[in-house]
Amino acid sequence: MKNNENLSQPHPKKFESDPTIHSTFCVQVRAENDKDNNPNIIEQYTGCTLNPDAPNYIGKKIGDKYSEYDATLGHVLDHGDFNNISDYVRVEIDNGVSAGSITPNVIPAGFEAVYEPIAGFSGYTLPSASFVYSNTGSNTFSGFNYADSDAINYLQPIPSEAGTGSNVAFTKTANENKFTVPFQGGTDGTSFAVIKKIGASIATDGTNVFGFDLSTSGTGGAAAYEKALDILANTEAYSYNILVLPGVIEQYHSAITAYAQATVESRQDAIYLRDLTGVNETVAAAVSTAAGLDSSYSATYYPWLKVRDVGSNKDILVPPTVVVPEAYAYNDKVGEEWLAVGGLSRATLGSAIDTRYRLYQKDRDKLYAARINPIAKFQNSGVVIWGQKTLQVAETALNRINVRRLLINLKRFISDTSKAFVFEQNTNATQIKLKNKLNPYMEDVKAKQGLYAYRIVVDDSNNTSDVIDRNELNVNVYISPTRTIEFILLTFSISPSGVSF
């Protein structure tokens, strides 16, 4: 992607000769592979200025905000002053500009020396980044030379220890009013030199999944995942009802899967779909791996799935959670959260071509008894989820995913509704008002087959004087969740001829 500082017509611009008046300029975000004489402009911001008090200040027009996790505080902190208007870029503004201490009529005129894409080698000579110099009347943009193949290498990932080498800063010529700035830097959290193993190539010793080492809880990769999960643990900042870490496998990365399970159990408003085993593991291995797991906030699936990789246009094998979430999304779109994500109606995985292993009845029975949801392929039915158990060991209603998700839904609604009553007077009138807010929703859930029955108690029976004196309000909700059909038993009786039915 190119970032063009374009001061040429027809865009509003004006370089002020009077140093007391602020100049204006235009910023374009262009596609990296376009041409100067036929630009592909993705975004454009005209009439920008470096005047921090003006409505067209570059910071206000494009935005300068970004977020960063502070491990000491345990919070994500926002930096910058202006909301991001651009979908692609943000600006970093020099303190002198934001303080208004620069000469008003200055405009952007170049960029610093670019960094080399390799580092740590001696005895090499890397060609310096190539620049183009043009003039006002030309269609060509001065600046970084996108037509030079050696220069394009400078857009590759940059090591943290890299230097500028023989590169120098670029400054546009006095008779030019436009130039192009290259983008450098950025990271996905791993060294660009690390081979990122995905799918069936994920390391069985846990040392490489997408380039992260998750083999133990003390690795850098584990710390990165734990930091991400710590961020997602904040229920006020992040709202979601499903957590998925595709490729993070119980068999290889148990420290992280346990951390993810603890995250959703702490939040109590989401369910964690976890990958269980490697690509070639048997049903017996899956059953053995699941034996030590126990949580009504987690569910797992078997086996791996075959999908078409859009990048290579080849069929590849992926862990179940790469595809399973599509069934949850479809279920919630056409139905409700308390409906089972299983069966032919709402749990056919359209993006899956096949399963790694064909599961027959005895396989599915073994898996389901072990609290593992089978993914089956039936004739003329495609690939489908054929189970909806959580990993809870105890035989209660919460060992079914639809019941856990029903409870999550109800708790979220009741909690959100109840917030409006915090700091209200703790009287019978308030209790009745709250109950009248909750009842219609509960009736709607019942009508949509989520509940057989329910009862809400918020009155003097559970809000005695000592409760009121503690400035509390108790709301007791009793529910009888609707159960799903998971087995159909067929019985045929043969009667003699002449019998009337």
> pLDDT by residue (tens digit) across 176-190?
889 999 988 877 777
Q: For residue 29, is it within any domain?
A: no
Pair 331, 387: CB distance under 8 Å: no
Q: Are residues 289 and 375 in the same domain?
A: yes
Q: Are residues 392 and 456 in the same domain?
A: no
Q: Are residues 286 and 212 in the same domain?
A: yes
- Whole domain around residue 473: which residue ranges? 420-481
Do the strands 305-309 and 298-302 form a parallel or antiparallel pair, or are they unpaired? unpaired
Q: Are residues 366 and 426 in the same domain?
A: no
pLDDT of amino acid 8:
36
Q: For residue 89, is it within any domain?
A: no
Q: Are residues 425 and 394 in the same domain?
A: no
Q: Which of 371, 401, 431 is the last residue of a domain?
A: 401
Q: For residue 342, is it within any domain?
A: yes
Q: Are residues 393 and 427 in the same domain?
A: no
Structure pTM?
0.83
In this prediction, residue 12 has a pLDDT band, given cuts at 50, 70 and 90, of very low
* 13 has a pLDDT exceeding 70: no
Q: Which of 332, 366, 401 is the last residue of a domain?
A: 401
The candidate with the shortest Cα–Cα distance to 409, out of 361, 448, 359, 458, is: 448
Q: Are residues 313 and 427 in the same domain?
A: no
Name, in order, each residue with C-beta under 8 angstroms of 14's C-beta and a sequence gap of 6 or more: 23, 24
The span from the CA of 284 to the CA of 59, in Å, is 59
Q: For residue 314, is it within any domain?
A: yes
In this structure, what DSSP letter does residue 348 have?
B
Q: Are residues 270 and 308 in the same domain?
A: yes
The span from the CA of 208 to the CA of 12, in Å, is 51
The span from the CA of 279 to the CA of 303, in Å, is 8
pLDDT of amino acid 149:
85
Q: Are residues 393 and 426 in the same domain?
A: no
Helices (H), 274-323: 283-290
Number of residues assigned to the chain = 501
Q: For residue 56, is it within any domain?
A: no
Mean pLDDT is lowest, of 26-40, 348-362, 368-382, 483-497, for: 483-497
The candidate with the shortest Cα–Cα distance to 482, out of 389, 402, 370, is: 402
The candidate with the shortest Cα–Cα distance to 480, out of 365, 401, 395, 403, is: 403
Q: Are residues 282 and 429 in the same domain?
A: no
Q: For residue 102, is it within any domain?
A: no
% of the chain beyond a pLDDT of 90: 73
Q: What are phi and psi of 455, to 5 degrees?
A: -150, 135
CATH number at residue 269: 3.40.50
In this prediction, residue 73 has a pLDDT band, given cuts at 50, 70 and 90, of confident
Q: For residue 497, is it within any domain?
A: no
C-alpha distances in Å from residue 379, one per residue of 23, 305, 354, 382: 70, 16, 11, 7
Q: For residue 163, is it within any domain?
A: no
Q: Are residues 430 and 311 in the same domain?
A: no
Q: Are residues 203 and 283 in the same domain?
A: yes
Q: How many domains does the chain have?
A: 2
User: Where is mean pLDDT largest: 158-162, 318-322, 482-486?
Assistant: 318-322
Pair 136, 175: CB distance under 8 Å: yes
290 dihedral zone (left: phi>0; alpha: psi -120 to 50; beta): alpha
pLDDT tens for 453-481 read: 999 999 999 999 999 999 999 999 999 99
Name, in order, each residue with C-beta under 8 angstroms of 272's C-beta and a sequence gap of 6 or more: 242, 243, 244, 260, 261, 263, 264, 295, 297, 298, 299
Radius of gyration of the chain (CA): 30
The candidate with the shortest Cα–Cα distance to 338, out of 271, 396, 406, 273, is: 406
Name, in order, each residue with C-beta under 8 angstroms of 385's C-beta and a sequence gap of 6 or more: 301, 324, 327, 341, 342, 343, 347, 349, 373, 374, 375
